[in-house]
Structure 1
Amino acid sequence: MSTERELTLRALLTGILLGAILTPSNVYSGLRIGWSFNMSIISLLLAFGFWRLYSRQRQEAAWTLRESNICQTTASAAASIISGGLVAPIPAYTLISGQQIDAVPLMAWVFSVSFLGVWVAWYLRGPLLDSGLRFPEGMATLETMQDIFRHGGEAIKRIAVLFSAALASGTLKWIDDFVWHLPRWTPGVYLERLTFTLDPSLLLIGFGGIIGLRVGLSLLLGAVLAWGGLGSWLLDSGHIVLLPDSHGPQFKALVEWLLWPGVSLMVSATLANLLARYLVRLRRGEANNPSIGLPPRPSGIPLVGMLASSALVVTLQILLFDIDPLMAVLTLPLAMLLALVAARVVGETAISPIGAVGKLSQLSFGLIAPGQPTLNLMSANTAGGAAGQCADLMNDFKVGRAIGTTPERQLFAQCVGIFIGSIVGVLAYQLLIPDPQGMLLTEQWPAPAVATWKAVAEALTQGLDSVAPSARWAMLAALLSGSLIGVGEGLLPPERSRYLPSCAAVGLAFVIPASLSVMMASGALLAWLWMSRWRSFAERFVITLAAGLVAGESFVGVGASLWQILRH
Structure 2
Amino acid sequence: MEHKPFVPEKTDLKEFTFRAVFFGAIFAVVLGAANAYLGLKVGLTVAATFPAAVMAMAVLKGLKGSVLEENIFRTTAAVGEALVAGAIFTIPAFLIAKDPATGKPLWSHLHYFESTVLMLLGGVLGVLFVSFLRKVLVEDKTLPFPESVACAEIVKAGQGGASGAKYVFGSILFAAFLEFIKNPVGGLALFKDSFSKFIHFKTSAINFLTTNGKSLMSKKFGGGMLLKSPNASPAMLGVGYIIGYKPSAIVFSGGVFAWLLFVPLLNFLFSGSFDSLIGQQINGVTVTETVISGAIWNSIVRPFAVGAMLVGAFYTLYSMRKSLWTGIKRGFKDLSKIKEEIEEGSEVSRLEQDLPFKFTIIAIFLLVIPIAMIYYFFCQSVAGAIVAALVMTLAGFLFAAVAGFLVGTIGSSNNPISGLTLSTLIVAALIMVTIGVKGGPGIAAVLGVAAVVCTSSGVAGDIMQDLKVGHIIGGTPWKMEIACIIGVIAASLVMVFPMQVLHTATPGGIGGPNLPAPQAGLMAMLAEGIVGGQMAWPLVLTGIGFSIGMILIGAPSPMLIAVGMYLPLESTFAIFVGGIIRVLADRFAEKSGLDKGNETFVNTGTLIASGLIAGEALMGMGIAAIVAFRDKLHIPNFSLGEPLGAWGGLLVFLPIAYILIKLPINAAKKNNG
What's the TM-score bracket when you normalise by the shorter of the two chains?
Answer: 0.7 to 0.9
Following superposition, the deviation at residue 438 of structure 1 comes to 4.7
**Match among 263, 278, 294 for residue 244 of structure 1:** 278
Distance 2:14 2:520 in 1: 43
The corresponding residue for 1:538 is 601
Give the Cα separation in 2 of the matches to 1:31 and 1:287.
30
Asked if the contact 2:15/2:68 (under 8 Å) is kept, the reply is yes
Partner of 1:492: none
Q: Counterparts in 2 of 1:251-290, with a 5 A limit?
A: 251-279=294-322
- Alignment of 1:312 onto 2:370: yes
Residue identity in the other structure for 1:254: W
Alignment match, 2:15: 6
Q: Which of 190, 194, 214 does residue 199 from structure 2 map onto?
A: 190
* Residue in structure 2 matched with residue 76 of structure 1 by the alignment: 78
* Change in 2 beyond 3 A, CA 1:434/1:280: closer
> 1:281/1:463 Cα in 2 relative to 1: closer, same or farther (>3 Å)?
closer
Question: CA deviation digits over 1:222-261, x for unaligned, max 9?
Answer: 1111221111112111199654232336435413322233
Supply the distance in 2 between the matched residues of 1:49 and 1:171 (Cα, whole angstroms).
21
The corresponding residue for 1:516 is: 571
**Counterpart code for 1:50:** V
1:170 to 147, 165, 176: 176
Verify the 8 A CA contact 1:187 1:197 in the aligned structure 2.
yes
| Contact 1:24–1:424 (8 Å) recurs in 2 | no
C-alpha change, 1:163 and 1:241, in structure 2 (3 Å) is farther
2:422 paired with 1:359: yes
Q: How many residues align?
A: 539
In 1, are the aligned partners of 2:375 and 2:389 still within 8 Å (CA)? no
How far apart are the structure 1 equivalents of 2:60 and 2:135?
Answer: 32
Does the alignment pair 1:223 with 2:255? yes
CA distance 1:166–1:342, shift in 2 (3 Å): same
- Partner amino acid, structure 1, of 2:258: A
| 2-structure distance, mates of 1:473, 1:520 | 27
Distance 2:328 2:451 in 1: 27
Residues 524-563 of structure 1 show CA distances to partners (whole Å, capped at 9, x for unaligned) of 1101210222153631311111011111111111111111
Which residues of 2 match residues 527-566 of structure 1 at below 5 A? 527-534=582-589, 535=594, 536=598, 538-566=601-629
User: Which residue is equivalent to 1:28?
Assistant: 37
Q: Deviations over 1:294-347 (max 9, x none)?
A: 454484221222222222322222235535232233221122112222222222
Cα distance in 2, alignment partners of residues 84 and 526 from structure 1: 29
Equivalent position SS for 1:188: strand
The 5-angstrom pairing of residues 27-426 of structure 1 reads 27-52=36-61, 54-55=62-63, 62-85=64-87, 87-95=88-96, 96-97=98-99, 98=105, 99=107, 100-132=109-141, 133-149=143-159, 151-152=160-161, 154-155=162-163, 158-177=164-183, 178-186=187-195, 188-190=197-199, 194=226, 196-238=228-270, 242=274, 243-245=277-279, 246-247=287-288, 248=290, 250-279=293-322, 293-295=334-336, 296-297=338-339, 299-322=357-380, 324-331=384-391, 332-350=393-411, 351-370=414-433, 371=438, 372-426=442-496
Match for 2:403: what amino acid? A
Are the counterparts in 2 of residues 165 and 548 from structure 1 also a CA contact under 8 Å? Answer: yes
What displacement does 1:408 show?
0.8
CA 1:470–1:233 in structure 2 vs 1: closer, same or farther (change >3 Å)? farther
Decide whether aligned partners of structure 1 residues 290 and 544 sit closer, same or farther in structure 2, where only a CA change above 3 A counts. closer
Distance 1:440 1:138, change over 3 A: same
1:469 maps onto 2:479 in alignment: no
* Equivalent-residue separation in structure 2 for 1:209 and 1:49 (angstroms): 24
Distance of aligned partners of 1:540 and 1:346 in 2 relative to their CA distance in 1, 3 Å threshold? closer
| Residue 390 of structure 1: how far off its partner (Å) | 0.8
Which region of structure 1 is more displaced relative to structure 2, 234-243 or 304-313? Answer: 234-243
* Displacement of 1:462: 4.7
Letter in 2 for 1:162: V
Question: Matched residue of 1:238: which SS?
Answer: helix
Q: Distance in 2 between matches of 1:205 and 1:308?
A: 44
Structure 1: distance between partners of 2:491 and 2:265: 44
Give the conservation status (yes or no) of the 8 Å contact 1:431–1:562.
Answer: yes
Q: Which runs of 5+ in 2 are unaligned?
A: 1-9, 100-104, 201-223, 280-286, 340-355, 632-673
What's the offset of the Cα at 1:3?
Answer: 2.1
Cα distance in 2, alignment partners of residues 402 and 552 from structure 1 = 30
- Structure 1 partner of 2:510: 440
* Aligned residue identity for 1:460: I
* Offset of residue 129 of structure 1: 2.3
Q: Is the 8 A contact 1:257 1:471 kept in 2?
A: no
- Secondary structure of the 2:46 match is coil
Q: Give the match's secondary structure for 1:190.
A: strand
Distance 1:208 1:167, change over 3 A: same
**C-alpha distance in structure 2 between counterparts of 1:162 and 1:315, whole Å:** 43
Q: What TM-score does the superposition give when structure 2 sets the normalisation length?
A: 0.74
In 2: Cα distance, 1:161 partner to 1:41 partner: 12
Q: Which moved more, 1:110-119 or 1:174-183?
A: 174-183
Q: Are the structure 2 counterparts of residues 381 and 480 from structure 1 closer, same or farther at C-alpha, using a change threshold of 3 Å?
A: farther
What is the distance in 2 between the residues matched to 1:240 and 1:34?
Answer: 35
Question: Whose relative contact order is higher, 1 or 2, with alpha carbons under 8 Å and at least 6 apart?
Answer: 1
Deviation string, structure 1 residues 493-541 (Cα, Å, up to 9, x no partner): xxxxxxx523232111111111101110000110121022215363131
CA distance in 1, matches of 2:570, 2:230: 6
Cα 1:206/1:4, change in 2 over 3 Å: same
1:233 corresponds to which letter in structure 2? L
Q: How many Å separate the matches in 1 of 2:483 and 2:227? A: 44
Task: Tell me the distance in 2 between the aligned counterparts of 1:240 and 1:194.
Answer: 17
**Alignment partners' CA distance in 1, 2:272 and 2:543:** 15
Whether contact under 8 Å (1:29, 1:36) holds in the other structure is yes
Q: Contact (CA 8 Å) 2:404, 2:461: kept in 1 or not?
A: yes
Contact in 1 for aligned 2:502/2:624 (Cα 8 Å): yes
Q: Is the 8 A contact 1:328 1:379 kept in 2?
A: yes
Q: Distance in 1 between matches of 2:538 and 2:150?
A: 47
Give the strand-richer structure, 1 or 2. 2
Paired amino acid for 2:602? E
